[in-house]
Amino acid sequence: MSAKTDKLLSILKLQPVVPVLVIDDAATAVPLARALVAGGLKAIEITLRTPAALEAIRAVANEVEGAVAGAGTILNAAQFEAAVEAGSEFIVSPGTTQELIDVANDHAVPLLPGAATASEVMGLREEGYGVMKFFPAEQAGGAAYLKSLSSPLAGTLFCPTGGISLANARDYLSLPNVVCVGGSWVAPKELVAKGDWAGITKLAAQAFALKD
């Protein structure tokens, strides 16, 4: 196992659920991240789906004690470089391209590449990847599909993301090939808009308790 894989696993094993955040206003990033960390969710994926994303990553990386800031929805080399420059400690992509693999090879920051089919998983294994994001999890076949991959593709670990909630997270977390899940339900837009950080800490603590 490579040093980068070790580093990635050490981050993903911090908690059973990695929050997947879409941040519209960078000013909310720090209090939101602090609320999540207070509930036990230290590794935080901030998706590059908004103009505020890079500023949010930089703020969380610099200002939130205990947080491990990561960048999600990374689609190309330029975004990868920008996310690393902003302070991301891990990078997440919805799928995988050769361009992403090449830029990831040039950096110490680990990539969690996206895969949804057995062929994609096999291709990533050939590139040296043993830990992948399974996305979009529910739409691609859910926990039953992922379970069916565990024997023929033994040794590969996944972080399923997409359509996962408190209601079905355990279905995934009980699988031998799942290291954690990604979910947006721990930071609902309405609670962020209201600044209900205590409510978000409560949701984070519920999610953290799934490890038991």
Instruction: Please list the active-site residues.
Output: 45, 133
Whole-angstrom distance, CA of residue 139 vs CA of residue 201? 28
- H/E/C letters for each residue in the chain? CCHHHHHHHHHHCCCCEEEEECCCCHHHHHHHHHHHHHCCCCEEEEECCCCCHHHHHHHHHHHCCCCEEEEECCCCHHHHHHHHHHCCCEEECCCCCHHHHHHHHCCCCCEECEECCHHHHHHHHHCCCCEEEECCCCCCCHHHHHHHHCCCCCCCEEEEECCCCCCCHHHHHCCCCECCEEECCCCCHHHHHHCCHHHHHHHHHHHHHHHC
d(CA 28, CA 211): 27
